[in-house]
Amino acid sequence: MIIPVRCFTCGKVLASLFEEYKKRVYLEGEDAKKVLDELGVRRYCCRRTIISHPVYIKDNEVKEPLDEAAQYE
């Protein structure tokens, strides 16, 4: 699953913000609320899209389920 390029509800571009969000929240351990505020994600629909996107941490890297499936093709 790939992060949507735009928010499903309002259309704000989110894909460019997701890499920074992943790095700061999952690897550096910052508070998700603070990171989203600093990135300018203020609407709850956009926050929902970013926060609910599935990721997992493997070998000190944040990966998405699509990354894992792509290596077996």
Residue 34: its pLDDT value, please?
96
Could you tell me if residue 4 is inside a domain? no
Q: What is the C-alpha separation between 19 and 36, in angstroms, rounded?
A: 12
Answer whether residue 10 is part of any domain: no
Confidence of residue 68 (pLDDT cuts 50, 70, 90): low
- 66 in a domain, yes or no? yes
What pTM does this model have? Answer: 0.77
5 falls within a domain: no
Query: How many structural domains comprise the chain?
Result: 1
Cα-Cα-Cα-Cα torsion 62, 65, 70, 71, nearest 10 degrees, comes to 60
Q: Is residue 2 part of a domain?
A: no
Exposure on the CB side of residue 37, measured as CA atoms within 13 A: 5
**Rounded distance, CA 68 to CA 54, Å?**
12
Mean pLDDT, the chain, rounded, equals 85
Indicate whether 27 pLDDT > 70: yes
CATH number at residue 58: 1.10.10
Q: Which domain holds residue 44?
A: 15-70
